[in-house]
Amino acid sequence: MRKRLKVLTVGCKANFADSASVVRLAAAEGFEIVSSPSPADVVIINSCTVTHRADRDSRSHARRARRDNPGATVILTGCYAQMAGAERRKVPEVDHWVGTGAREAPETEEGSLAAILRGISGNGIRDAAILSDHAADLLLGHRRTYLKIQDGCDFSCAYCVVPLARGRNRSVPEEEVVARAVAAEEDGAREIVLTGIHIGLYGADDAKKDALPGLVMRLLRETSRPRIRLSSVEPGEISARLIETMAGNPRVCAHLHVPLQSGCDRTLARMRRPYRSAEYRKVVSRAAAGIPGLSLGADVMAGFPGETREDFEETVRFLRESPVTYLHVFPYSARPGTESALQPDDVSSTEKKRRVTHLLSEDSRMRELFLLRQVGTTVDVLAEAVVPGGGALVGRSGNYAEVVFPGPPSGIGEIHRVVVDTVHDGKLVGTPV
C-alpha cells in the first residue's frame, strides 16, 4: 500500500508553486497525495517567515499536523524552516527541518527533501508517472496553475528577510517554463499564474533586460487556451513594453499587483525602497491608462520604525489620489537579520492596529468602487467552486474580481463569459452569456 502524504501551505503565491513542486516530487516517489482533513503518513508544511504572524502560523500548522496525525512524519520546509535557527526547539512536533536550499538540493544529497521522502516511502525506485504543474495544483485544491519562473531577490529592503531566506535572483530557463506551461495546458489548465519572489527580475541573472514581456509573448505563442496572470511586479519593472503586452493580448489578465509599502517618501527612503512616491504614481497611472479594466493592487505596511502619524496620513492621501483598486495591508514586523530589526520598534502595537484598521477601511472603499465600475460589462471568469447551496459557481475574472453566476458543478475549471448584473457582498453577480 502506498503511503499517504499531504502538503499544507503558508504564505505567498511563490509558496503555492513550491508546494506543487513538492507534490510532484512526492508523487514521483510513489506517495498517494491526499488533502485535509484526510489522515496522512507524511505531512509537509511549506512555511513562511515574512512576518511574526507567518512564523506563528507555520508553527501552528506543525502542531496541528502532529495532533491530527499522531503517527505521521512531520516535515517543515520553506522560508521559516530556513531561518528558524534556535526557534526549532519551540516545535518538537517536527521530525525534519528542510530549508529552501535543502529542498532544492540534488535528490542524492543527504538531508534533501527528495532523500528524506525516498527513505520514508521505501520504494527504492521512482514512479514512472510525472505530474504536470496543473495536476499537482489540482491535488492541492487549486484551479489555477502556479508556475514559478524565478526565485530569490537582489533588493536589500531594510525590513525584508526574503533575500536571506531565498538567496539572489535565479531565473528558470525559458525552455523549461514553456515546456511546463504546455504540459499544464495539455492537462487542462485554463489559467497560468507566473510567480516568483521578484518576477520583474526574470532574465536579469543572464544579463537580459526587460525579459518578462518576451516570456509572456512566448507563452502566448506556445499555448492556445490558458490565460496568463502575473503575480507581484515591482514598480521599476513595469515597462512600457510590459504594459503594451498586457493591453494588446486578451489572454493576459488585466491585473497587476505592485508593492508600495508607503506613500511617504521619508519612510520609503528609510525602508530602502528603490523608488519614491512620484515614480510609483507615474508607473501605476500609466498602467491604469493603458490597460482597460485593470485591477491594481498594492502592499502597504503600517508602523515601520520611525513612521509618524503625519507620515501615515501622507500614505493615506497618496492612496486616495492613486488608481490603486485594492490593498494588502500588514503591520510592520521586525525580522531577525534585517537592517530595520536593529532600529527601535517605536510604533506601539495599539497604534499599528489603528493604522491597519484605517487602511483596511480604505481597501474596502477601493474594492467597492472598482466592483461598481464592472456592472454592465462582460467578464471572463474561471469557475473555481460551487457556491454553498448549489446552483451557482464562483470564480475570478481576468481582472481579479470574485464573480458569482448560475452554473453546474461540471463548469468548474473552465472559463465562462458572464455579464455583470450587480454587486453583492463584495462580489460581482452575473449571468452567463
CATH number of the domain where residue 196 is located: 3.30.750.210
In a domain, 363, yes or no: yes
Please tell me whether residues 369 and 410 are part of one structural domain. no
For residue 338, the model assigns a pLDDT of 96
Please tell me whether residues 10 and 101 are part of one structural domain. yes
In a domain, 304, yes or no: yes
Maximum CA extent, the chain: 63
Orientation angle between helical segments 309-320 and 349-372, nearest 10 degrees: 10
Please tell me whether residues 147 and 247 are part of one structural domain. yes
CATH number of the domain where residue 103 is located: 3.40.50.12160
Asked whether the beta carbons of 111 and 105 are under 8 A apart, the reply is: yes
Asked whether the beta carbons of 10 and 47 are under 8 A apart, the reply is: yes
Please tell me whether residues 393 and 363 are part of one structural domain. no
DSSP assignment letter at 205:
G
Question: Which residue, 258, 327, 329, 261, is CA-closest to 291?
Answer: 258
Asked whether the beta carbons of 210 and 162 are under 8 A apart, the reply is: no
DSSP assignment letter at 45:
E
| Nine cell digits for residue 194 | 507566473
In a domain, 338, yes or no: yes
Please tell me whether residues 290 and 356 are part of one structural domain. yes
Please tell me whether residues 262 and 360 are part of one structural domain. yes
DSSP assignment letter at 347:
S
Whether the link from the prior residue into 432 is cis, omega within 30° of 0, is no
Strand partners, 405: 393
Please tell me whether residues 13 and 116 are part of one structural domain. yes
Q: 163 is in which domain, residue-wise?
A: 143-253
Asked whether the beta carbons of 226 and 201 are under 8 A apart, the reply is: no
Amino acid at 414: E
Question: Which residue, 48, 6, 47, 46, is CA-closest to 23?
Answer: 6
Q: b vs e for 148-172, b when ≥16 Cβ sit within 10 Å of the residue's Cβ? A: bbbbbbebebbbbbbbbbbbebebb
Question: Which residue, 283, 278, 285, 368, is CA-closest to 323?
Answer: 285
Please tell me whether residues 278 and 383 are part of one structural domain. no
d(CA 375, CA 112): 51
Q: Which residues of the chain have pLDDT under 50?
A: none
Q: What contacts 24+ positions apart, CB below 8 Å, involve 361-364?
A: 362/316, 362/319, 362/320, 362/327, 363/326, 363/327, 363/329
In a domain, 137, yes or no: no
Could you identify the residue written with the cell 517567515? 49
Choose the final residue of a domain: 352, 373, 394: 373
CB-based contacts of 358: which residues, under 8 Å, 6+ apart? 312, 316
CA 339 to chain centre: 25
Please tell me whether residues 77 and 149 are part of one structural domain. no
What's the number of domains the chain is made of?
A: 4
For residue 104, the model assigns a pLDDT of 73
Could you identify the residue written with the cell 498594492? 298
| Nine cell digits for residue 189 | 489548465
pLDDT tens-digit readout, 181-206: 999 999 999 999 999 999 999 999 99
Asked whether the beta carbons of 383 and 389 are under 8 A apart, the reply is: no
CATH number of the domain where residue 276 is located: 3.30.750.200
In a domain, 136, yes or no: no
Choose the final residue of a domain: 202, 218, 253: 253
The percentage of the chain sitting over the pLDDT mark of 70, rounded to a whole number, equals: 97
In a domain, 421, yes or no: yes
pLDDT tens-digit readout, 19-68: 999 999 999 999 999 998 899 999 999 999 999 999 999 999 999 999 99
In a domain, 309, yes or no: yes
For residue 1, the model assigns a pLDDT of 79
For residue 299, the model assigns a pLDDT of 98
Please tell me whether residues 117 and 185 are part of one structural domain. no
In a domain, 267, yes or no: yes
For residue 129, the model assigns a pLDDT of 65
Please tell me whether residues 181 and 74 are part of one structural domain. no
Please tell me whether residues 279 and 384 are part of one structural domain. no
Choose the final residue of a domain: 229, 253, 277: 253
